[in-house]
Chains A and B, each alone.
Chain A
Amino acid sequence: MDILFEFFSLQDPNIRYVLAGTILLGISAGALGCFAILRRRALVGDAVAHAILPGVCLAFIVAGGKDPFMLIAGAFVFGLLSMVTMDFITRNSRIAPDASIGMVLSVFFGLGVVLLTFIQSTGHIDQSGLDDFLFGQAASMIGDDVLVFGGLSLLILVIIVITFKELKLISFDPSFAQSIGYPVKRMEFLLALLMVMTITAGIQAVGVVLMASMLIIPAAAARYWTDSLRVMLLIAAGVGAFSGITGSFISYTAPAMPTGPWMVVSTAFIFFLSFLLAPGRGEIARYIQKKRLSYKVASENILKTLYAMEEEDGRTDRLRPLQELRKRRHLTKSRMKKVISTLLNKKLIAYYAGTPDGYVLTADGRREAKRLVRVHRLWEKYLNQHLQIAEDHVHDDAESMEHLITSEIEAELRKSLGSPELDPHLSKIPYDSEDDPEPKKGGSLP
């Protein structure tokens, strides 16, 4: 608890530097990453991140030590160089983009490792901490570093805010953008530049190996929660900031722990939560939706079965025992019980004791069953008549479509078919007659 207080009181200037640096980085990488994943350029980010290592090493050799400006310059040059190389290979050879990305990533990174080994073998005094650029070590950030790297992050954010409208357009529909005379090539170059800047801003805190995940994971997590690009950017930036705080805190409490990897792990944790919990797109929500649909299908099938029995013997007052229903609908006992009790609650069917006891459709239930049978048969008729599908092939399709056909689609079907009397199997299509009771509210199934 003390350590938590100590950390968040921000008394220690070192904590302030590290926090400011990692939060700014998380925000800018998260926001920019949204464009990277929406334009399907996430892997390019990974390649560029790895490819800046030789630039960083050369900057170290030239400057004779760690100089933030030199590092940025070196990273920048090699970041752009790697992008140009990937582009050149894809354009001028038959090699596919993924292969050229893979080649550039490994060759540049290999070169970087060679240079790193060379520097270490020269026994340079200031070499300690150079391998921090592989996995990042935010704890070694000092005031100047924060000013430079944080300033870079801030610049990226400002550019994103100013050019948001244009970035949105070229990410969504570049050919339309080109057709109205937008400088698409220049905008794409700007995005590439921003990506290199973001990765460069991350070399001290996260390192070249893991930097791509700071671009990709917060954006991927944010996509689960929203359908608006603006909100997606805000959430991704928030996830990035959160990971900055978490990473800094953990490496503060356990100094041997590297900041960068912990930032990545905490974004992955949030991604995992989003993957499970997000409303609509999350796995749990989708599972519930699926369950609900299969439940709806099972209930509607029971209504249909009762209606079919009525059609067969022409009796609407006869009780239908559970065994008979079970013979026609193969549901497990517990599921059947649940479905029946839902239908009873909705007053779509009624139960009467007697010998034998059984169920009967209520007026509302019959109305709903009729609707299902109607759309089933209309759909069969439509498939048969308009799509020339044989009578004996239309039933299975209609069996699943009947649960999805809305009243608007039904109206359109009736319009195009002219409310036919019979389906392709010559069964009568049941329409609502005038003397049917008005539907009560809440009568239909969810």
Chain B
Amino acid sequence: MKKNDTNITDSTTGQDLKSDPASTISPPIEVHDLTVAYDQKPVLWDIDFELPESSLTAVVGPNGAGKSTLVKAAMGLIASSSGYTLIYGKPLDKQRRNVAYVPQRETVDWDFPISVMDVVLMGRYPHLRLFQRPSRNDREVAMDALREMGMDGYHKRQISQLSGGQQQRVFLARALAQDASIYLMDEPLAGVDAATEDVIFKKLQELRSQKKTVVVVHHDLQSVPENFDLVMLLNLRMVACGPVASTFTDENLQKTYGGRLNILSQIIEQSRQQRFVRESES
């Protein structure tokens, strides 16, 4: 029953916000029927959504709601029990160059012996063949990306000499260097200083005006209405997804963050204690 609700919400979203006629045929990103289970315990349940061009989407939800899992599973970085992602109507694996993923800052070792430039150059790897070295042009693109994030002058630094906010900017510069159409960012604003926050929000607006599709896992509810067009409210399942104005309501937030367990949450809780097996797996 709930599932139907979600579908209705996001299909209307799709209709409302599509500006480019081409995207009515195949949206930049669509995720269907995504379910993820760790150790046979579901952590994400039947997620469906599609997002239009020139949009900024915030993914919000309480801790452990599966926000990062959603992004990782949509990118195929972790195994999902079911579901698939289409990029402009094509399977993700054929479109990976076109999707820039920004992992959480904590996932890498910032004491790794590597310079800022080396990290940003990795954004150029999808444009290179295996074993091919980056060219002068790739270096220029990487330098431009650093400049856009206000990090020019830092390219020779070792990454451990950066502050948290600067590390995040380097990660974003790497995504920019990839020159993709779709950006999936996992908590890019977590624990960054005010200056970095400004730079990032400004960059997000710019990406939107360049017709990009941007999805940001976000923790700060207060800054959602001002900075995002669309919002996904997530708590193991999709509670709601749509334009901020109509979706980011007290009622929906209550559903997402509220303590009351609805029927589906109860079933999920139940199956966590039992063992969860999908029909398709057996």
Write the residues of chain A forming the contact surface with B, with a CB cutoff of 8 angstroms.
38, 162-163, 165-166, 168-169, 171-173, 175-182, 223, 226-229, 231-232, 412, 416
Contact = CB atoms under 8 A, between A and B. Distances in A.
A412 B134 CA distance: 38
A162 B131 CA distance: 6
B113 interface: yes
B114 A172 contact: yes
B125 A180 contact: yes
A165 B128 CA distance: 11
A166 B126 CA distance: 11
Nearest to A231: B113
Interface stretch (B23-31, B102-110, B199-207, B229-237): B102-110
Contacts, number: 76
A226 to B, nearest CB: 6
A440 B112 CA distance: 40
A350 to B, nearest CB: 38
A254 B75 CA distance: 60
A382 to B, nearest CB: 12
Nearest to A226: B113
B115 interface: yes
Contacts of B195: 412
B97 A181 contact: yes
Interface residues of B, number: 33
Contacts of B107: 173, 175
A181 B112 contact: no
- Chain B facing A: main interface SS: mixed
A211 B122 CA distance: 33
Contacts of A38: 109, 112-113
Nearest to B130: A166
Contacts of A171: 112
Interface centre among B72, B109, B114, B195 (most CB of A within 10 A): B114
B248 interface: no
A168 B119 CA distance: 10
B71 to A, nearest CB: 10
Contact of B131 (A163, A181, A223, A416): A163
Contacts of A177: 125
B9 interface: no
Given A166-B131, A182-B125, A228-B113, A175 B96 contact: no
17 contacts: A38-B109, A38-B113, A165-B131, A169-B122, A169-B125, A172-B114, A173-B107, A173-B108, A176-B101, A176-B122, A178-B77, A179-B77, A179-B101, A180-B126, A227-B113, A227-B114, A228-B158
Contacts of B114: 168, 172, 227-229
B178 interface: yes
Nearest to A183: B130
Interface string B140-180: 00000000000000000010100000000000001000100
A264 B56 CA distance: 56
Contacts of B126: 180-181
Contacts of B160: 227
A168 B77 CA distance: 19
B122 A227 contact: no
Nearest to A178: B77
A163 to B, nearest CB: 6
B72 A175 contact: yes
A176 B103 contact: yes
B99 A165 contact: no
Contacts of B194: 416
6 closest Cβ contacts across the A-B interface? A179-B101, A181-B96, A227-B158, A180-B126, A229-B113, A173-B108
Task: Identify which of A166, A171, A175, A226 gathers the most chain B CB atoms within 10 Å of its CB.
Answer: A175
A165 B113 contact: no
Contacts of B132: 165
B168 to A, nearest CB: 14
B9 to A, nearest CB: 28
B250 to A, nearest CB: 26
Nearest to A233: B113
Contacts of A228: 113-115, 158
Contacts of A229: 112-114, 118
A171 B109 CA distance: 10
B125 A175 contact: no
Contacts of B33: none
Nearest to B112: A172
B144 to A, nearest CB: 19
Nearest to B160: A227
Contacts of A162: 131
Contact of B99 (A168, A179, A182): A179
Contacts of A163: 131
Nearest to B194: A416
B93 interface: yes
B177 to A, nearest CB: 11
B77 A173 contact: no
Contacts of B103: 173, 175-176, 179
